[in-house]
Structure 1
Amino acid sequence: MTISSLIVETLPQHTSAVACELASREGVEVHGVDETAGKVVVTIEAPGIDASHATASGFVGIEGVLGIDLVYANFEDENLGDAGALGGE
């Protein structure tokens, strides 16, 4: 499982609507909204890195989203597959 924390930057007049849209998406939880600054703090819980990236990439298509900033990502070694083995064995 991968857990990521992100700040979604929005046009201030769209922040509330963006937060509602994000909250409706599977695996996404909204933790904070600052309408004045146009920022929404979210976490994504996904089965792996690729799924987390796909979810976050989908945020760009929401009206009023200006950008997405990754703050933190935690993933288990099994998400790395063979590339994550020490010593390349």
Structure 2
Amino acid sequence: MIEIGYIGSQELQTSEANKEIIPSKPDDWTHGYKLYKFSFMNESDCTVVINDKYTIFLKANQGLSIDKGDEPIVSFKIKEGGIKYNFIGAF
């Protein structure tokens, strides 16, 4: 069964250092989320790790967006704690 939809922040969130921000998969799914569209906004300077292999510095309010032509997001972590952020993704 193919699931489609959106996930994202219900409110402004505060990061915990190196904690995954993509939610765990629903119990009845075989695989986790694979986000083909993703948008992230950070209020402070931070460093993010995408898919456990790309480390990128983002200036305050720079944010990041990916679209269908980019590698899907399966993991997204903020290295620093205390960063205010929100995100939305399409799967």
Name the TM-score, length of structure 2 as normaliser: 0.33
**Which has more radius of gyration?**
1
More helix by proportion, 1 or 2?
Answer: 1
Q: Which has the higher contact order (CA 8 A, sep 6+)?
A: 2
Name the TM-score, length of structure 1 as normaliser: 0.33
